[in-house]
Amino acid sequence: MKNKKFLCLIVFVLLGKIAVHAEEGLSLDSTQAILIDTTTDQVLFNKGADEKMLPSSMTKILTMYLIFEELKAGRLKMEDLFVVSEKAWRKQGSKMFVKVGEQVKVEDLIRGVIVQSGNDASIVLAEGISGSEEAFATQMTHKARELGANNSNFMNATGWPDENHYSTPRDLACIAKKTIENFPEYYPFYKEMAFVYGGIRQMNRNPLLYTMPECDGLKTGSTEEGGYGLVASAVQQGRRLIMVINGASSKKERAKDAETLMRWGFAYFISPLLFKASESVQKADVWLGNRPTVEMAVEQDVYVTLPRHESKNLKMEVKYHSPIAAPIKAGQRLGTLIIKLPQNKEREIPLVATNAVEKIGFIARIKAAFYYLLFGHN
């Protein structure tokens, strides 16, 4: 057999120029931040994303994850009623303003948590599901680990300050992403702008809902020690970004940082589709097969995320042994597509046979071998 064959493909993406600053020049008031492109799960911006922080009311995205899970499993219904305990009623901070002893529909409590950021509503749900807020908090930590948020620990359903209640921007982004992916039927609650309960109208505190039509969630939070934070997500032309910021000095700075970072992510980066699932990337020669060649294809859609101005430097290389010996099964791994990204980063993607190739019979093999000796190929 011949040595490995190297085929280089160069992709040129024609894009308009855009005047934006690179990450180093992006100034945020927030002490921590992360921005992720969910198309490729690539981190676009990282500022202390793995450092522990007080998650404040951003905790409630995990509280709601557990509620959504109960609803999806059929163990809970929107019209179910939960009784408001004295503990829930007395809880300070942001409120839905439920009354002790009152029976409240789950659907109203969900809006009370998401739109109004009600600590009281969070406790009512936690107690209704697990019997106590403490038991529910234990479930929250277990669920966080299950989702891949391994650097978090939860002591309550509200985000109320506790030295053992902590998370990281990366973990909150992970929980947000799983919420969006796993509960598309319930996620629209996060985009609701206002909710009226008991004659009290409260507006959603997420500032991006008012300044970016592309934004569809998720949750604000603030504590005196930890500052102001936000978990947010937005979609532009089918491309979703998830952002977490924390430690902003005020609501105004939180809103400014959130919009700056989100708009920067959409403007500075692109995530083009290079190949569709099952699309042929390269044709390879076959040795002793009933077909002279076989198509090699990717199994899944292939996207990359990179700065717009570096798109012209994107290169791809196909590696495989040539010729490929028959028999070949459809779906058999034949080679590797290597995508060469800026800053010397690479991605390797398997290439598989699009169709089967049978091995030719004995006489035909003798003829092919003789032909190969004379001409160097079959």
In which region does residue 217 sit, left (phi positive, over 0), alpha (psi from -120 to 50) or beta (all else)? left
| Residue showing tokens 């800053």 | 343
* C-alpha–C-alpha distance, residues 102 and 82, integer Å: 8
* C-alpha–C-alpha distance, residues 35 and 203, integer Å: 25
| Strand pairing category for 4-10 and 32-37 | unpaired
Residue 310 has φ and ψ, to the nearest 5°, of: -100, 5
Q: Which long-range contacts (CB under 8 A, 24 or more apart) does 212-215 make?
A: 212/259, 212/262, 212/263, 214/266, 215/191, 215/262
Residue positions annotated with a catalytic role: 57, 60, 117
**Contact between residue 53 and residue 246 where contact means Cβ atoms under 8 Å apart:** yes
* C-alpha–C-alpha distance, residues 242 and 348, integer Å: 25
* C-alpha–C-alpha distance, residues 322 and 82, integer Å: 67
Tokens encoding 224: 């005196």
Q: Which long-range contacts (CB under 8 A, 24 or more apart) does 313-317 make?
A: 313/342, 314/10, 314/11, 314/13, 314/339, 314/340, 314/341, 314/342, 315/8, 315/9, 315/10, 315/11, 315/339, 315/340, 316/8, 316/9, 316/10, 316/11, 316/274, 316/340, 317/6, 317/7, 317/8, 317/9
**Contact between residue 335 and residue 282 where contact means Cβ atoms under 8 Å apart:** yes
H helix or E strand, kind and range, residue 305: none
